[in-house]
Amino acid sequence: MSANIPRFTLQDQVAVVIGGTGELCGAIAEAFAGYGARVALVGRNQEKAANRIARITASGGAAWFENADADNKASLEALLARVVAKEGRVDILVNGAGVNSATPFLEISEEEFERIFRINVKGVFLACQVFGRYFLESKIPASIINIGSESGLVPLSRVFTYSASKAAVHNLSKNLAREWAPLGIRVNTLVPGFFPAEQNRKILQPERIERIMAHTPAGRFGEAWELGGAAVLLASSASSFISGAEIVVDGGYAAMTI
């Protein structure tokens, strides 16, 4: 008996990519648009989104900028209302807003700790509440993709609060996957390895880069576009039986020991 494998397509889907004005989530948004989705790039700086949107539209895709605060529930509710008013529905949510810091543990202030958790964890929590309620009430078979981190699986040195916050995102995602899978809502964690991005460039000194490369079988950093394939898989119906998973894109880093 031949299997009826769903197509890798996002045609007629609407995606909201929170953090889409950044490098990694911007690349995910571009991949979504390339597979037919109409994509809202969500952030606080329209100028940062302009080049990405221009590339998407030049390739025949559909994308636009939405201004919203990832850690503010009212702002997220207004975002959802605007996208539904514009497109009629939302099918895909990506939670990718995030901040990092390399402050030594004993020097981490309460303010820094709370800021990182507010954006990295509370933002995911609030967006999942706001959009999850919409998905449940609309009975839309949706896909939620939360952006985790290698440091959410195994703690990394020098990024104590970031590692703890991403571990919380991984756990939250699994809990929601368990609760919502019977209702047709899939929740997965996309786990980037080492990808140079705005939030980690300050801590990538030569010595640290050398250590990372020695632990990465591929022998290089990831490029932002290389997250697109895994993201499209998780967003599309081709992954209809994948929920609660941690999809690692790291050039073999997690498989390396000695």
**1 pLDDT higher than 50:** no
Confidence band, pLDDT 50/70/90 cuts, at residue 132: very high
Mean pLDDT value of segment 120-148: 97
The answer to whether residue 251 is domain-embedded is no
Q: Which whole-number Å values give the CA distances from 221 to 12, 82, 156, 180, 197, in the listed order?
A: 33, 37, 16, 34, 11
- Which is catalytic among the residues 35, 134, 162, 253? 162
34-93 pLDDT, tens digit per residue, is 999 999 999 999 999 999 999 999 999 999 999 999 999 999 999 999 999 999 999 999
* Whether 253 is catalytic: no
Confidence band, pLDDT 50/70/90 cuts, at residue 176: very high
The answer to whether residue 143 is domain-embedded is yes
- Residue 4 and residue 235 in contact, taking contact as beta carbons nearer than 8 Å: no
At 5, the amino acid letter reads I
The answer to whether residue 258 is domain-embedded is no
Q: Where residue 63 sits, what CATH number does that domain have?
A: 3.40.50.720
The answer to whether residue 5 is domain-embedded is no
Question: Looking at the 3D structure of the chain, how many domains does it have?
Answer: 1
- Residue 95 and residue 125 in contact, taking contact as beta carbons nearer than 8 Å: no
Q: Which residues pair with 39 in a beta bridge?
A: 15, 63
Task: Determine the structural domain holding residue 187 and report its residue range.
Answer: 14-243
The answer to whether residue 7 is domain-embedded is no
The answer to whether residue 6 is domain-embedded is no
Write down the residue that tokens 């929170």 correspond to.
18
